[in-house]
Amino acid sequence: MIALNARTGEPVSRFGKDGEVDFGIPYNSVPGIYRNVVVVGANTPQGTPGGIGNPRAFDARTGEKLWEFSSVPKPGSIGNDTWEGDSWKNRLGVNAWPFYFTLDERRGLLYLPLASPIGGYYGGDRKGANLFGNSVVAVDILTGKYKWHFQTIHHDLWDHDPPAAPGLFDVVRNGRTIPALALTTKSGYLYILNRETGQPIFGVEERSVPKSDVPGEMAFPTQPIPVKPPALARGSYKPEDLVSAADTTPEHAKACQDLIERIGGVQNSGPFTTWGYRAEGTRPPTTLLFPGGLGGANWGGTTFDPNSRYIFVTTQDVGALGSIEKTRPGSPFLYDKTTPGQNSFDVRMGDQNWPCQKPPWGRLIAINS
């Protein structure tokens, strides 16, 4: 992190060491700045030392660290009991990687969108809900003190973290103005919460979801599904959803049919379908997940029009293909996701990739707040 004189471009010598602070962890984005507080997140690839996902804040004048929020709670902290045993120790991921932060200046609340734990597709070594993974956490901007959290996925197995900081706006309901935020997720759901308390404004239900057949895995039995709005992206697939010649072109439909035959068929059990287990020497159908790794919604997040009071979100529908297989000796995890030669449920047509389910393949959606 480098501080420069805005008039001359020269390093500010009183900041850190000769104008620089080495905080040891890469963050591939802009910092969040409020008064003298500079907030940074973290990008945490596999193989990097543990404890690196924590968002931190520094003094803009001196470079001194002001606070650090433990995104994987330590013993005695809220959420530590959601990690079985010592699985919280040296846990990678659960990092604030999105490209910006949002702040309620009046209330002094900073909203941290936190990512999935690593390993992202096998959680047999981290049984439990795994807070604060896949959560938005509100902290005091000046101190980093925890205020509230809302978890969008318990025990994530899909890398479906919140890809953007929440958008802030007000909801008028029954004549009362409620300070609100809207949080997008790669899983295709939009969560509208009271930004003072983290409570859902239009309801969220814990609904039963598919189990996992991977040895040692314990998929969480329920997931929080918004009552309103409905899912903003495709969350399931049936054989009749395969694209036809009438939907696009005969060449495209045939290429997609050939893909399914080549990979031994596909299986999907609806929202939060778990990756199927492929034991050595077997060839079960490949799991087809909707939304895929890119969402759903992705980095764009939300925007709000105060005149219409609509929230706008763009989403895409590109399915992901994969199975869980036993890893080779020396791997940090017993099992991991593999693909049948390609990641996405699409085929190459000319110079573009076309999805293999019926359109639409992407949407611009307006939600009445």
CATH number at residue 363: 2.140.10.10
Residue 135: inside a domain? yes
Per-residue pLDDT tens over the stretch 151-181:
999 999 999 999 999 999 999 988 899 999 9
Residue 369 confidence (pLDDT):
92
Q: With a cut of 80, say whether residue 23 has pLDDT above it.
A: yes
Q: With a cut of 80, say whether residue 46 has pLDDT above it.
A: no
CB atoms within 10 A of CB 337: 22
Residue 6: inside a domain? no
Q: With a cut of 80, say whether residue 51 has pLDDT above it.
A: no
Residue 171: inside a domain? yes
The H or E element that residue 262 is part of is helix 250-262
- The number of folded domains in the chain is 1
Residue 14: inside a domain? no
Q: With a cut of 80, say whether residue 44 has pLDDT above it.
A: no
Residue 1: inside a domain? no
In which domain, by residue range, is 106 found?
Answer: 32-368
The pTM of the whole model exceeds 0.85? yes
At residue 363, the 3 state secondary structure works out as strand
Residue 43 confidence (pLDDT):
87
Residue 198: inside a domain? yes
Residue 16: inside a domain? no
Residue 50 confidence (pLDDT):
47
Residue 45 confidence (pLDDT):
65
Residue 170: inside a domain? yes
User: Which strands, in side-by-side order, build the sheet including 286-289?
Assistant: 266-267, 286-289, 320-326, 335-338
Tell me what the mean pLDDT of segment 110-134 comes to. Answer: 95
Which residue carries 């611009």 as its tokens? 364
The H or E element that residue 253 is part of is helix 250-262
Q: 18: which residues sit within 8 A by CB, 6+ positions away?
A: 11
Q: With a cut of 60, say whether residue 253 has pLDDT above it.
A: yes
Give percent of the chain with pLDDT exceeding 70.
Answer: 98
Per-residue pLDDT tens over the stretch 298-334:
899 999 999 999 999 999 999 999 999 999 998 888 9
| Residue 24 or 35, more confident | 35
Per-residue pLDDT tens over the stretch 257-303:
999 999 999 999 999 999 999 999 999 999 999 999 989 998 999 99
Mean pLDDT of the chain: 95
Q: 215, 124 in Cβ contact below 8 A?
A: yes
Give the span between the Cα atoms of 215 and 56, in whole angstroms: 37
Q: What tokens appear for 276 in the block?
A: 């199927």
